[in-house]
Structure 1
Amino acid sequence: MSLLHNKKEYIMHGLYYDKTRVQSKQPFSFPLPMHLGEFLINKEKEFELPPDIHQERELGLIKGLMSNRKPFFTRIRSNIFVERKPYKAEEDIICQCVRPFEGEMGCGEDCINRMLFYECDPNCCPCGDQCSNRRFQRKERTKELQVFQTKDRGWGLRTLVDIKKGDLVIEYRGEIISHQLCEERMCTTYVNEKNFYFLEYCNGEVIDACTKGTEARFINHSCDPNCHIEKWCRGGEAHFGVFASQDIEAKSELFYDYNFSTFNNSVESEQACHCGSENCRGTIGRKVSSRHAR
């Protein structure tokens, strides 16, 4: 028994102690782990939330923290056609404008294309690079816009600069989908959503800006708006822009009248309006009569 006892070694420096290592003589200096411990220390790993916090976020229990964050969406530079390819113009639409003098801009208010809400083609417009009827192509919009949180209407959009009446504020973009796919997404992808960002496109199609679009998706409804939507055609496809209906001062919130139809034309699906204007209709969109609802 005494022989076995003499061969036993007692390690006083921890589970992964290596007696062959040269120990530091600094006070309160302990040897680093070895083997698995050393591997774990040197391994780089991306930060992850603890499971309890991550699960609470997934379940939507951290409402106070998440309520102040802007809804996530992907900003896009042009519409995305989900079910088809973009159409091309069958023929060029040429206006009858006369090229102006050097330093002046042509295709003004009397331009036939402008009056028909068609943008001129730079390859065939008589005014060439002096054409002023190419706002969507040149992205001549108000760039100083800010998304902010309102008191009682969720998120909104306001301008940080003065906007003149008739100016293009921003283009409304998103995914171009059919009405059928829109209804499918309403019943599946967006079944638990409270806010929707749809705009009627053309020929039974819809602009879906729920996940992909521009800051135009944050513009709130008002029964007395300072903006309106215009449909313009360019290159075989339509472009929808938010235009100023009046002169708008800096730091003013932007509004337009949604004027949408409720699903199934039911009174139950109407949404209350909180715009606070004197001529408020009480609901967002068209008023559904009790006779039509029956």
Structure 2
Amino acid sequence: MTIDYKEIFSQNNVGKVLYNEPMANHTTFKIGGPCDVMILPKEENEIINALNIIKKNNLEYMIIGNGSNLLVRDKGIRKVIIKLNDNYSNIEIKDNYVIAQAGALLSKTAKTAMKEDLTGMEFASGIPGGIGGAITMNAGAYGGEMKDILYKVKALNRDLEIVEYNLDEMNMRYRNSRVQDEGLIVLEATFKLKKGNPEEIKALYDDLTFKRTSKQPLEYASAGSTFKRPEGHFAGKLIDDCGLRGYRYKDAQVSEKHCGFVINRGNADFEQVYHVISHVQEVVKEKFGVNLEPEIRIIGEE
């Protein structure tokens, strides 16, 4: 049965609506076929309105942010995509607290904190993606994690009720949280930081930025670290020790700069990237007996 999305979403206060929109335009991998509908709300009530319409019409949907951890199949997605990115990205400072909407980029939020002489969020300055995704998966880098600075989260539950949870209630753990456990939708996060020395904060910020730019293949499209860290190992080292540094299939490649990244050299499609990921998993399993689990989410119509 064909769904008339234009009829369903016309004349409704949900924000901007795009139809048959290529997901390649909305992921940092620059890969992915079209989604049926993409909604870009700017207000909290628009998010709730969109979800109510989705629920009323029994439509499948998905929330995305910056698309920095997504690998979308070439056939695209047969769902309604609600994108919370620069359309929903306000950042506010109140004393030592940073309040950021779900679509705000982590890098911009960390930079805003730095400008206010607030310390504690420097580790997040180089993490790709937005606040919503970072809370969902307890993102971390350089010895820090979201749970180290999180104060509270404002979210929607499955009944579309606005709920608030403090850090202790969020069950934050390695690349997971209450958000995933209960299917919550993050609207806003509040972080508790400390006043610091401006020169020391900037020095740490600059140092971590240099480490990231010098060690990560930022000149290519990717979804950041492709694999989760296996217990007792480092994914990048395992891949390197298997002789897979620079392993390439057409336009998809294991980065020569950082073996933990699979990159799009320009025109890679889903199948090419998936081939590289699968080959890496197979070789690492065969040589070391370690199962590499993707940190990226693989989605879309098969």
Compare the two structures and name the one with the higher helix fraction. Answer: 2
TM-score for the superposition, normalised by structure 1: 0.23
Larger radius of gyration: 1
